[in-house]
């Protein structure tokens, strides 16, 4: 099989890139290889089931489960999904192997990085910290700004266009969701600090119907949206459907259950195609292409380079400096709870997503310690009305139970820095998909625990200002690999990273990486808006190449 461009993976990175190229060049022949299968979205039955049982589809033994990342029960056997270092980075629940990739079950939080995030090495040096393995991005915020704007329109972000947290040249496509009544408690507490803690509307991809070429429904703000039945919540699979079903793009094809195993090369620099396992017939097949886009995610994308073209590159493509898979970062996600002794206003979650964020500590002043954001998550006070009623509770009893003590939460992400020791590599063993399992080595930095004590003290002060009581905290940190990044980081030179500023693998002429793997550093916020912006930027670059 021959195609102009082969794309490995069908997540948001691939989808934004393909959309960009096809908009200008509708006849481009593009083949997507997707390891997973297809599931039905905009599914009322699934949605109703979720409302009744309050269980996410991924929790059950159903079709979603078969596409979910594997639980790797035998991960502790030597050499198989082994976690080394001092910190386990769980992968279960951290990604989805399916048509449309992980945005099928993401949260939609869609932040821009701040200007200083693009200059981490420079910023840390100014703070007297030895920069170590940390680098600057090869370009700054100004370069990204127009692509951020385009990305916000692509994924349909609702946000506050007057928010000055990050400079912007244009408005969000949709207005911010209003703060909830419960947000008001946090806002009052932020204002009680000697220097008030700033806050803003959390930008969230929720509104649908963003441009002429998609068939998303507009958001109905029912707030129960993990599996939005209207298709308003962005999931790349919906956009892919629009592309595939359009008669404008006759040469786009998406092969599901097709696992890329190796990128093939006819010289050290030039790739010719991809060898993949067609799970539908169990056969090994090859697709030839002029341009190879590796959009398989930060973990699988790095592993694919490592196991490819070993006759030309001893340690895998782009890996002469042993950097592929290294510098792995993910976000430690912290969550703290407290109890309000009474809830006279009967506050209940109004949306199934957060509406308030504070980026006060996501600032240059905090950068050397690890910036962080604070979010009031949805579903903090929880009273199951349907269950109470079916248990025979009267209206008065239910009201009384709502007005008594209630739990409030603060959650957040904290920035950690690159460390050469932290990496992903292929295990010899294959999982039940036929994909190579993963070995992750990860060490948290020596000062991380102290930083977390500072974060905890700040959240406790906020709760104190709300007169909420600390109920005792367990397991306040999750290191899950949801935001895995930086494993083939972008750099000006191959001695410092794996891809160049155009996302092309150093030392190759036609292999591009398109995933969180290319981030030079991760910042304190969720990565996907930045990833989408980078994908659109890569689209512009490739269109110029194709014209030439």
Where does this chain bind ligand FAD (CB under 6 A)?
8-14, 33-36, 94-95, 97-98, 101-103, 105-109, 259-260, 295-297, 300, 304, 482-483, 515-516, 526-528, 531
The option from ligand FAD, ligand SF4, none interacting with 326 (CB < 5 to 8 A, set by class) reads none
Task: Please work out, in degrees rounded to the nearest 5, the angle formed at the alpha carbon of residue 331 by the alpha carbons of 325 and 334.
Answer: 150
User: Nearer to ligand FAD by C-beta: 491 or 528?
Assistant: 528
**Minimum CB separation from ligand FAD for residue 94, in Å?**
5
The option from ligand FAD, ligand SF4, none interacting with 9 (CB < 5 to 8 A, set by class) reads ligand FAD
Q: Is 386 exposed, middle or buried (0-12, 13-18, 19+ CB in 10 A)?
A: exposed
141 touches 167 (CB < 8 A): yes
Number of residues that bind ligand SF4 (CB under 6 A): 13
Residue linked to tokens 């709760």 = 463
User: Nearer to ligand SF4 by C-beta: 238 or 510?
Assistant: 238
The option from ligand SF4, ligand FAD, none interacting with 230 (CB < 5 to 8 A, set by class) reads ligand SF4
**DSSP E strand stretches across 113-160:** 157-159
Roughly what angle, to the nearest 10 degrees, separates helices 181-191 and 448-465? Answer: 110
Residue linked to tokens 């951020």 = 148
User: Nearer to ligand FAD by C-beta: 155 or 408?
Assistant: 155
The option from ligand FAD, ligand SF4, none interacting with 98 (CB < 5 to 8 A, set by class) reads ligand FAD
The option from ligand FAD, ligand SF4, none interacting with 36 (CB < 5 to 8 A, set by class) reads ligand FAD
Element (H, E) at 462: helix 448-465
The option from ligand FAD, ligand SF4, none interacting with 259 (CB < 5 to 8 A, set by class) reads ligand FAD
The answer to the question of residue 223 lying near ligand SF4 (CB under 6 A) is yes
Q: How far is the CA of 186 from the CAs of 130, 189, 385, in angstroms? A: 36, 5, 25
The answer to the question of residue 225 lying near ligand SF4 (CB under 6 A) is yes
Q: What is the 3-state secondary structure (H, E, C) of 503-546?
A: CEECCCCCEEECCHHHCCCCCCCCCHHHHHHHHHHHHHHHHHHH
> Rounded CA gap, 413 and 478, in Å?
10
Roughly what angle, to the nearest 10 degrees, separates helices 528-547 and 12-24? Answer: 30
The option from ligand FAD, ligand SF4, none interacting with 19 (CB < 5 to 8 A, set by class) reads none
Task: Please select the residue that binds ligand SF4; options are 222, 348, 379, 403, rule is CB under 6 A.
Answer: 222
User: Nearer to ligand FAD by C-beta: 98 or 468?
Assistant: 98
Strand pairing partners for 357?
200, 375
* Sheet containing 157-159, strands listed edge to edge, beginning at the edge strand earlier in sequence: 174-175, 157-159, 204-205
Task: Please select the residue that binds ligand SF4; options are 71, 221, 272, 431, rule is CB under 6 A.
Answer: 221
**Minimum CB separation from ligand SF4 for residue 45, in Å?**
15
The option from ligand FAD, ligand SF4, none interacting with 372 (CB < 5 to 8 A, set by class) reads none
**Minimum CB separation from ligand SF4 for residue 532, in Å?**
18
Residue count of the chain:
548
Q: Which spans of this chain sit near ligand SF4 (rule: CB under 6 A)?
A: 206, 219-225, 228, 230, 232-233, 352
């Amino acid at each position: 099989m021959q195609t102009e461009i082969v794309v490995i993976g069908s997540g948001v990175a691939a989808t934004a890139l393909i959309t960009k190229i096809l908009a200008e060049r509708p006849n481009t022949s593009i083949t997507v290889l997707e390891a997973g299968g297809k599931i039905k979205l905009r599914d009322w039955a699934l949605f109703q089931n979720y409302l009744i049982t309050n269980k996410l589809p991924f929790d059950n033994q159903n079709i979603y489960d078969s596409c979910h990342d594997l639980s790797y029960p035998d991960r502790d056997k030597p050499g198989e999904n082994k976690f080394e270092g001092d910190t386990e980075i769980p992968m279960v629940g951290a990604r989805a192997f399916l048509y449309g990739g992980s945005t099928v079950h993401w949260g939609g939080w869609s932040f821009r990085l701040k200007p200083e995030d693009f200059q981490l090495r420079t910023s840390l040096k100014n703070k007297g910290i030895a920069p170590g393995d940390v680098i600057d991005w090869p370009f700054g915020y100004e370069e990204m700004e127009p692509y951020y704007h385009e990305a916000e329109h692509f994924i349909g972000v609702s946000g506050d266009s007057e928010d000055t947290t990050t400079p912007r040249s244009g408005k969000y496509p949709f207005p911010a969701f209003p703060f909830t009544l419960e947000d008001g408690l946090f806002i009052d507490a932020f204002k009680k600090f000697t220097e008030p803690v700033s806050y803003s509307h959390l930008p969230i991809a929720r509104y649908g119907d963003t441009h002429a070429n998609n068939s998303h429904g507009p958001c109905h703000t029912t707030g129960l949206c993990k599996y939005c039945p209207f298709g308003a919540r962005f999931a790349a699979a919906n956009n892919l459907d629009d592309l595939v079903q359009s008669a404008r793009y006759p040469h786009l094809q998406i092969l599901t259950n097709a696992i890329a195993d190796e990128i093939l090369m006819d010289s050290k620099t030039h790739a010719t195609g991809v060898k993949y396992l067609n799970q539908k017939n169990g056969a090994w097949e090859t697709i030839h292409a002029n341009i190879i886009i590796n959009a398989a995610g930060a973990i699988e994308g790095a592993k694919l380079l490592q196991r490819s073209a070993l006759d030309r590159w001893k340690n895998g493509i782009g890996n002469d400096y042993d950097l592929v898979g290294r510098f792995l970062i993910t976000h430690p996600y912290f969550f703290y709870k407290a109890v309000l002794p009474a809830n006279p206003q009967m506050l209940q979650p109004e949306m199934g997503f957060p509406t308030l964020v504070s980026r006060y500590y996501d600032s240059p002043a905090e950068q050397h310690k690890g910036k962080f954001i604070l979010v009031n998550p949805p579903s903090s006070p929880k009273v199951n009305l349907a269950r109470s009623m079916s248990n025979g509770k009267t209206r008065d009893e239910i009201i009384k139970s709502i007005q008594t003590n209630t739990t409030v939460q603060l959650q957040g992400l904290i920035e950690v820095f690159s460390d050469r020791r932290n990496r992903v590599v292929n295990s010899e063993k294959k999982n039940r998909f036929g994909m190579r399992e993963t070995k992750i080595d990860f060490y948290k930095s020596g000062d991380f625990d102290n930083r977390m004590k500072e974060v905890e003290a700040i959240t406790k002060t906020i709760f104190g200002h709300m007169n909420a009581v600390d109920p005792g905290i367990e397991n306040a940190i999750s290191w899950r690999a949801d935001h895995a990044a930086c494993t083939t980081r972008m750099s000006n030179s191959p001695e410092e990273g794996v891809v160049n500023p155009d996302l092309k693998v150093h030392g190759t002429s036609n292999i591009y990486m398109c995933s969180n793997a290319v981030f030079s550093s991760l910042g304190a916020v969720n990565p996907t808006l930045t990833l989408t912006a980078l994908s659109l930027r890569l689209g512009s670059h490739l269109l110029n190449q194709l014209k030439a």
